[in-house]
Structure 1
Amino acid sequence: MGDWLAAIILGVVEGLTEFIPVSSTGHLLITKEMLGLTDARWDPFIYMIQLGAILAVVVLYFTRLWKVLLGLFGRDASAWRFTIAVLIAFLPSAILGLLAKDVIFAVLFNSLFVFLSLIIGGVILLLVERWAPPAREHEAMALTFRSAALIGLYQCLSIIPGVSRSGATIVGGLLSGVDKRAAAEFSFFLAIPTMVGAFAVSLWETRDVITADFLGLVAIGFVVSFVSGAFVVKTMLDFVARHGFAPFAWWRIVVGALGLVALSLGWIG
């Protein structure tokens, strides 16, 4: 398979899974394994193309985000409140990720752990959706600092492969009394600083091995993840409002179970 085709496939997987609670990293690692991409450069690749999906959020929410930016300069209280809430939610995982990423990569980045995380996370998502407390907050851009802090603590779980960043933040939101739609939307906003930070770290750590060919592949994956990510962002909120998170939970469980079967049969390493 040509590298350009692999970049397209990984870009599609990234865009389709980044904003739904199924673990984009887990799906990318599985896809990379199935495609036989053993070259070490594909590891930073799957983190760097996440910026394309995040750009989709910025573009689709540009009007609201621009209003927030202007509000910061105009000392608008709601703009400052939203910005501080996002920062509160962002900082815990940023700090923990920097401190623990080497251990996570060394110990947990393997197919078995990803498949188990997918299954366990799916079960938890089903339980939380069924027994979450009644929703008290319904506006993603007006969450309390308490809810933002709890969502940020739950996001720390996403450094574990297969857990899902969006899944962890959505579960945190539901348990904090945030309704489904607002929890999903706040997860979109929180993805912006989180993934920009992950991109910057990956870029810095691979600065010595970056080549023109590698950047070309990243550009392909970036564009494809942007397009597919935009599709998901535009459709997910209405889907969640109608069907909840159960379809994503069952998807996780099925993919994890099939992965364990494939692993036991030696079809993947």
Structure 2
Amino acid sequence: MSIFHAIILAIVEGLTEFLPISSTGHMIIVSSILGINEDEFTKLFEVCIQLGAILAVVVLYWKKFFNANILKFYTKLAIAVVPALIIGYLFADKIDALLESPMTVGISLVLGGIVLLFVDNWFQNPKIDSEEKVNIFQAIRIGFYQCIAMIPGVSRSAASIIGGMQQGLTRKAAAEFSFFLAVPTMAAVTGYKLMKNHELIFAHSENLQLLLIGNVVAFIVAMLAIKFFIGFLNKYGFRVWGIYRIIVGLIIIGALLMNVDLKV
């Protein structure tokens, strides 16, 4: 992996992590196009640069993460992340196997896109407009929705936002709760991967430099993407993202059916 590759992947991570279009799916395809998909460090890199993206959430919403109600806030997040931690641990091998399937990504993008075409019509009378009004039971239900995103191409953001809307949250409140929930979820995944594959970081002298660059770029791009997404979502809803997902998914499926090498 070169610095150029690191910057490209970090931009993709920052742009897609909090949008309902699947950051994992996009990075799987982009790393394949760049020809670095079979590099073990690339796979670790794609996970580790999530730290930069989640730091963007903490910085943008620092008042949420460091305020007088911090215990209640973190309790909800801790409980909501439990389903993902348990299911992720129990089915880690099967999830890793799915991560090597571009066809799974393509199909998930299309199916998720179809859902996004109609989701705005399903939840038209939200009653919860802020995280403070989300109770423990609603938080854990949203956490279960998040688990669907363990299938590559589904999108953690899309799954948890839809889960939030199903629990009565407005689009803005559901998106923000999804951002908050990403912090412990992605931190846990990244920490686990680092402990399991820490030797890869020091296998080559430039790996630490690549991780630093990747996290900085992902942080900056994620800051911009989050600000853009909240405003766009409030004004236009999910339909545009649904159309985008369907187009990208069909392109991936079509390429695979024509025997284009997207092996990851």
Q: Normalising to structure 2: TM-score of the pair?
A: 0.93
Aligned twin of 2:15: 16
Aligned twin of 2:129: 138
Q: Is the 8 A contact 2:119 2:238 kept in 1?
A: no
Structural mapping, 1:210-249, within 5 Å:
210-211=201-202, 212-249=205-242
For 2:103, what is the secondary structure of its paired residue?
A: helix
Aligned twin of 2:32: 33
Q: Is the 8 A contact 2:118 2:239 kept in 1?
A: no
**Runs of at least 5 residues in structure 2 that lack an aligned partner in the other structure:** none
Aligned twin of 2:53: 53
Aligned mates of 1:109, 1:214 — CA distance in 2: 23
Q: Is the 8 A contact 1:129 1:174 kept in 2?
A: no
Q: Does 1:263 align with 2:263?
A: no
For 2:200, what is the secondary structure of its paired residue?
A: coil
Q: 1:187 to 1:107 in 2, by over 3 A?
A: closer
Q: Does 1:105 align with 2:91?
A: no
By how many angstroms is 1:101 displaced? 1.3
By how many angstroms is 1:229 displaced? 0.2
- The two structures, once aligned, show a CA RMSD in angstroms of 1.4
1:215 partner letter: L
Aligned mates of 2:95, 2:65 — CA distance in 1: 33
- Superposed CA offset, 1:208-267 (max 9, x none): 222232221111111110110000112221111101111111111111011111222233
1:229 partner letter: A
Aligned mates of 2:200, 2:30 — CA distance in 1: 23
By how many angstroms is 1:140 displaced? 2.2
Q: Normalising to structure 1: TM-score of the pair?
A: 0.92
Aligned mates of 1:159, 1:254 — CA distance in 2: 22
Say how many residue pairs are matched.
259
Aligned twin of 1:74: none
Q: Give % identity.
A: 41
2:227 partner letter: K
Aligned twin of 2:65: 65
Aligned residue among 99, 120, 128 for 1:129: 120
**Runs of at least 5 residues in structure 1 that lack an aligned partner in the other structure:** 72-77
